[in-house]
Structure formats: structure tokens, C-alpha cells
């Protein structure tokens, strides 16, 4: 029987998010994103202008966040053929990206990885609250000239 | 005779992307809804032949909505379009009466192929 170390288990868990993020950008925009190696959050507030937050319950508990600049979100909308870059659509696509990446993870985690509808936080100074006691991993993404992030905080 | 399509998704951006993507002859969009409850009301008003259905939505989720729509019209074609990519959720939706399952993110080609596949069954 093969057993995994804690680090290997974490890497395995995070890989589903890495793959899901790459798949999202590739599929929606036709332009590949470079998804970097996850690292532990060290700064107090790593959020950018818009953050989509998904609550996770069931087999895992915590939150998944996708954070981005507004300009990148406008580029995503443009790639989808959307011409209306109003605040509502920008917030909507922020939540939808977080929702899609989190939902796709169920391919690996299964049905008991239950996700909420997205909550979107906006504004240059918005503060994301991370539940205490759990490590938060940041997965850096590079797409075009933009550098959004996925943030994973799960038990 | 033209077929009628209703789009159900809590994301306005996704609803609009489906509207833009639809490219099937004689298929007209008759309504869009942002949750399951509105979808049922609109379904009664417009009697669509085909429905795209999200799963994770506020107020009433897509699986429950599929069940309700099938009760209203067992012949309606329902294509679930959801980010939930696990097999168990797809099987559950199909067991309630949906006939197709397309994972987000999707592209227009995949969506139209799924529509044609469902409408071919008629």
C-alpha cells in the first residue's frame, strides 16, 4: 500500500484547482493561462479589485476565492463576446469564475464537496476574511499581462 | 415549426453567452430566468420545448427545478449546463428527467451540438 505524506496530500488536493483554473482560461478564452506553483499566504490582504468567494461544506470545509483586477475581467468578458462591461457584469463574471473552478473540482473530490453560490467583494480596498486555523494557499495565475489569483482555504 | 428555448442560470453573463451562442435552425429563445422559481413561472407562460438548466442557483436549485418542469411537461428536453462536474450530480439530474449534461466552461460549438443531439430525439 502506498501512503502519501501531508505535503503530497496537499499537492494532490491543490492539483485539481490548478488543472481547473488552466482549463477555465483555455476553454473560455482560447488562450492558455500559466498556473504557477501554490504557496502559503503571507500577506494580510492578497485580494485584488474583485474577489469571488465560494463557501465549501460537506467533505471539506472552508472557502475558495478568485481575485482579479477589473481590467482582466473585462478581457474575459470580451473573450466571451460580451460587450457590456458594467459593474454588474464584472461582479457576475468574478463569481462565475470562482463557481466554475470550484464546481469542476468535484470531478476529483466528488459530490460531497459542496459549494455555495458565489459572493462577490469589490473595491480596491476590500478585505477578504480567512477563517483562522487553516492554511491558505495562493495559486498564482498569469494570463495575457494579468496576474489573478486563486486562494484556497480548506480544512 | 420553430422550437422554443428557455435559458435558466443565475449568472446574467452566462445567460447572455448562451443567447449569443445559440445557432440552431428554427430554435427561438422565448425566455430567460435567474432561478428555479422564476423558471417554473416562465415555463408555464412560454411552454418551451428545450431548457438549459444551471444547478447551483439561489432559491431553488436546478435539480429540483428539473423535477418540477418534468412534472409539468414530461416531453420537455432539458440540458443541464453546470460547473458541477462530478458524475453523481450528472446522474442525479438525468434521473430526474434531464436528457443532457454539459459541464461549464463550455464553448458555443459544444452547446449547439448538445442542442442538436437533444432535438434529434424528437
Q: Which of B17, B86, B89 sits opposite A82 (nearest CB)?
A: B17
Q: Which residues of A touch B83 (CB under 8 A)?
A: 99-104
Which position has the grid cell 475558495?
Answer: A64
Judged by CB atoms closer than 8 Å, whether chains meet at B13 and A28 is answered as: no
Q: Kindly report the pTM of this predicted structure.
A: 0.92
- Helix count and strand count (H, E) for chain A: 4, 8
pLDDT bin (cut points 50, 70, 90) of residue A125 is: confident
Tens digit of pLDDT for each residue in A77-113? 999 999 999 999 999 999 999 999 999 999 999 999 9
Q: How many domains does chain B have?
A: 1
Across chain A, mean pLDDT equals 91
Neighbours of B74 (CB within 10 A): 8
CB proximity A117 to B under 8 Å: yes
In chain A the domains, ranked by start, together with CATH numbers, are 6-154 (3.40.1550.10)
- The Cα B112–Cα B118 span in angstroms is 10
Look at residue B83 and tell me if it is in a domain.
yes
Q: Which of A28, A110, A116 sits opposite B105 (nearest CB)?
A: A28
pLDDT bin (cut points 50, 70, 90) of residue A3 is: low
Q: What is the CATH number of the domain that holds B17?
A: 3.40.50.2300
Burial of B115 from C-beta contacts in 10 A (0-12 / 13-18 / 19+):
buried
- The Cα B47–Cα B40 span in angstroms is 10
Question: Beta strand pairing status for B100-103 and B77-82?
Answer: parallel
For residue B55, give every residue at least 6 positions away whose Cβ sits within 8 Å of its Cβ, in sequence order, or none.
B61, B62, B63, B80, B82, B83, B84, B89, B93
Angle at the Cα of B14 (from B82 to B99), degrees rounded to 5? 40
- The Cα A88–Cα B91 span in angstroms is 33
pLDDT bin (cut points 50, 70, 90) of residue A1 is: very low
- Domain span at residue B56? 3-110
CB proximity A21 to B under 8 Å: no
Look at residue B47 and tell me if it is in a domain.
yes
Residue B27 φ then ψ, to 5°: -115, 115
- The Cα B23–Cα B53 span in angstroms is 18
For residue A131, give every residue at least 6 positions away whose Cβ sits within 8 Å of its Cβ, in sequence order, or none.
A62, A63, A153
β-sheet bridge partners, residue A68: A50
Mean pLDDT (10-residue bins), chain B, 122 residues: 95 97 95 96 97 94 96 97 93 95 94 94 67
- The Cα A18–Cα A36 span in angstroms is 8
CB proximity B85 to A under 8 Å: yes
Closest residue of chain A to B59, computed from CA coordinates: A117
Look at residue B119 and tell me if it is in a domain.
no
Q: Which of B16, B58, B83 sits opposite A82 (nearest CB)?
A: B16
**Confidence (pLDDT) at A42:** 84
Residue A152 φ then ψ, to 5°: -120, 120
Residues A80-94 as b or e (16 or more Cβ within 10 Å = b): bebeebeeebbbbbb
Amino acid at each position: 500500500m502506498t501512503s502519501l505524506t501531508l505535503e503530497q496530500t496537499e499537492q494532490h488536493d491543490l492539483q485539481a484547482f490548478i488543472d481547473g483554473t488552466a482549463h477555465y482560461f483555455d476553454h473560455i478564452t482560447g488562450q492558455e493561462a500559466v498556473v504557477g506553483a501554490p504557496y502559503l499566504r503571507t500577506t494580510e490582504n492578497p485580494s485584488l479589485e474583485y474577489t469571488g468567494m465560494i463557501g465549501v461544506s460537506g467533505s471539506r470545509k472552508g472557502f475558495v476565492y478568485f481575485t482579479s483586477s477589473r481590467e482582466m475581467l473585462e478581457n474575459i468578458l470580451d473573450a466571451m463576446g460580451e460587450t457590456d462591461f458594467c459593474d454588474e457584469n464584472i461582479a457576475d463574471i468574478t463569481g462565475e469564475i470562482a463557481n466554475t473552478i470550484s464546481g469542476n473540482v468535484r470531478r476529483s473530490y466528488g459530490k460531497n464537496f459542496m459549494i455555495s453560490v458565489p459572493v462577490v467583494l469589490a473595491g480596491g480596498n476590500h478585505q477578504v476574511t480567512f477563517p483562522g486555523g487553516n492554511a491558505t494557499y495562493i495559486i498564482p495565475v498569469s494570463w495575457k499581462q494579468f496576474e489573478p489569483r486563486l486562494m484556497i482555504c480548506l480544512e | 415549426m420553430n422550437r422554443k428555448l428557455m435559458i435558466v442560470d443565475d449568472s446574467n453573463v452566462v445567460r447572455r453567452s448562451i443567447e449569443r451562442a445559440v445557432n440552431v435552425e428554427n430554435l427561438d429563445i422565448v425566455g430567460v430566468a435567474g432561478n428555479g422559481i422564476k423558471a417554473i413561472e416562465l415555463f408555464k407562460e412560454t411552454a418551451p420545448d428545450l431548457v438549459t438548466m444551471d444547478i447551483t442557483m439561489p432559491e431553488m436549485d436546478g435539480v429540483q427545478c428539473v423535477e418540477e418542469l418534468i412534472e409539468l411537461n414530461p416531453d420537455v428536453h432539458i440540458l443541464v449546463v453546470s460547473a458541477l462536474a462530478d458524475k453523481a450530480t450528472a446522474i442525479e439530474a438525468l434521473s430526474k428527467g434531464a436528457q443532457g449534461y454539459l459541464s461549464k466552461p463550455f464553448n458555443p460549438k459544444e452547446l449547439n451540438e448538445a442542442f442538436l443531439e437533444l432535438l434529434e430525439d424528437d
